[in-house]
Amino acid sequence: MNNAFGEAQHIVLLGGNSEIGLAVVRALISPATQTVTLGCRSLDKGAIVAATVASDTVTVDVVHFDAADSAGHQPFIDAEVAKHGDLDAVVMAFGVLGEQSDFDSDPVVAADAVTTNYVGAVSSGLAVAKQFRRQGHGVLVVLSSVAGERVRSANFVYGSSKAGLDAFAQGLGDTLAPLGAQVLVVRPGFVHSAMTKGMKPAPFSTTPDVVAARTVKALRAGKHTVWVPGTLRFVFGIFRHLPRAVWRRLPLG
């Protein structure tokens, strides 16, 4: 349970090897934090990053979690609660980027990406929400993307999955707000990370640590959405209303 200052004692990261997710977890850790659980598909990689989070006062568990295994999400959450008690903060940071050309040539690959990015978010998000309703509190941080605000032809499968994730998270937040729980939708632009290594940075690019700092600031302010950097909110406010004929011609990659 959160302490009197709203600091999380139990933090869960779904997508335990995510650079952005780990940065958010580190920023959330306070003197009140006792346990961090890294939900990872690869336990070996999780064990390595766990060492960067653990301390004399914070215990880190590495537990198998597969975003594509929707049937396993409720048991995962139930096991966490049975072992550590209330879910104070959950960070949803799993996802795959993929290549549009691969999706075009193999629809199964595209479906797998959408299953991870969107379907897995729905099943795990609802499992988290079920527990939040039981305990009457909790914060869920959902790492979305500006790619879902106006989908580009260059990555429309990925963008559509993020659009679905974003809409789901907004709706979930609206249902939980009257019950004392908070959902924060984080919309970063291009983030320098292992996932984007080798890609040409887009304008207004940022880093995992900046995303983390803005996320924690937004949580403390009780916000439901945060753009990183904030300038992108206004940029996409314009993009969202451009005629499609104009949008198609923009040199956005």
pLDDT at 6 (0 to 100) = 65
Instruction: Say if residue 91's pLDDT is above 50.
Output: yes
194 lies in a domain? yes
pLDDT at 253 (0 to 100) = 54
CATH number of the domain residue 161 falls in: 3.40.50.720
Residue 239, sorted as left (phi over 0), alpha (psi -120 to 50) or beta, turns out to be alpha
In the chain, the number of structural domains is 1
Q: Which of 23, 127, 20 is nearest to 79 (CA)?
A: 127
Distance CA 205, CA 213 (A): 15
Mean pLDDT of the chain: 92
- What DSSP line would sit under 212-224, residue for residue? HHHHHHHHHTT-S
- Residue of 158, 168, 190, 227 with catalytic role: 158
Instruction: Say if residue 2's pLDDT is above 70.
Output: no
pLDDT in tens, 22-66: 999 999 999 999 999 999 999 999 999 999 999 999 999 999 999
pLDDT in tens, 219-230: 999 999 999 988
4 lies in a domain? no
40 lies in a domain? yes
Q: How far is CA 224 from CA 60, 183, 202, 252, in A?
A: 28, 6, 25, 28
Q: Which residue has the higher pLDDT, 230 or 144?
A: 144
pLDDT at 4 (0 to 100) = 36
Give me the domain span that covers residue 93.
10-249
pLDDT in tens, 61-76: 999 999 999 999 999 9
- What DSSP line would sit under 146-197, residue for residue? GGGTS--GGGHHHHHHHHHHHHHHHHHHHHHGGGT-EEEEEEE-SB-SGGGT
Other beta carbons less than 10 A from residue 67's beta carbon: 25
109 lies in a domain? yes
5 lies in a domain? no
Active site includes 118?
Answer: no
180 lies in a domain? yes
1 lies in a domain? no
Confidence of residue 214 (pLDDT cuts 50, 70, 90): very high
Pair 141, 225: CB distance under 8 Å: no
pLDDT in tens, 101-113: 999 999 999 999 9
70 lies in a domain? yes
